[in-house]
Amino acid sequence: MSKTTAQKKGLLERLKEGPVVGDGSMCMTLEKRGYCRAGQWTPEAVLEYPDAVKQLLREYLRAGADVLQTPCYASSDGRLKRANITYTTAELNEAACEMAHEIAQEGNALVCGGLTPVMSYSKGEDETIVRGEFESQLAGFIKRRDIIDFILAEFFGYIGELEICVDVMKKAKMPIACTMRIGPLGDLNGVSVEECAVRMAKTGADLIGINCLFDFDTCLKTLKRMRDALDKEGLKTPLMCQPLGWRCPETTNTKKGYLLLPEFPFALESRQVSRFEVHKFAREAYNLGARYIGGCCGMEPHHIRAIAQEVIKTF
């Protein structure tokens, strides 16, 4: 059944009605299960181990996620080439679309097409090359717009790169969300949290926020600064937050977050958050204005269930 015949409510409609729950960790969790290579985090598992990827998506759906993201993080031309992956961005993204759609149909979940940063930007290459990489990622989502409900630019470290990406994403004529991997020090060029928030909102994205690199406490502090900056400018763009599932308070005043931990990436289990901590985080994020709450690396299905229990049943 297509999303049209099912008359499924879209992202913007759901945000008006109440909180939306995102899904959680894909690459890190698949690596622990034996289906990804640590350090590369490229998405070839969608083609090589589709049953394993579908099972993880299904667990997030059953845990209460309202959105399943296409499992294609790092599916960009430069990243795949660096990792010696022979699959193309188009092949991986299309397979990821089909997979997320198939599992979403088992419930009432939305499908989110995910775009990620490109190496050409950090290398300082011409903007036309940067745009070309984003267009390559976006092409698969435009092709399968019949099964994609909205698109998300995630894990951006530079606000300038994110602005280019969102501009390209507008070609899809779908709702747009975007997140940055920033903490108190702002982006990788030192642009403040406040300026990043305002510039993100002014891209015209429908939903903005933060994901990955930092733990609950740091993300909540950053989220508050974003909310205050938006309020000061009279901007009403809804916020989203998808943090780590590990405690790493010693990385708060860094730009690389948990990537600096000696336990990264193979020994983070002792830092795993509990469900009680997730309940508390979800409530505080909601109170700060986050209307889309999910998880990133380390946030497992049981953590997503805790978010759903907290914000959907009691908001």
Percent of the chain with pLDDT over 90: 89
Closest CA to 252 of 225, 230, 286: 225
Residue-wise pLDDT tens digits, 33-68: 999 988 888 899 999 999 999 999 999 999 999 999
Name the residue ranges covered by the structural domains of the chain.
Answer: 3-314
CATH 3.20.20.330 applies to domain 3-314: yes
Closest CA to 156 of 178, 128, 176, 123: 178
Mean pLDDT score across all residues of the chain: 95
What pLDDT is attached to residue 8? 86
**Tokens representing 58?**
């299904």
- For the question of whether the overall pTM of this predicted structure is more than 0.75, the answer is yes
Residue-wise pLDDT tens digits, 78-109: 888 888 889 999 899 999 999 999 999 999 99
For residue 111, the cross-strand partners are 68
CB 216 within 8 A of CB 273: yes
CA distance 26 to 97: 15
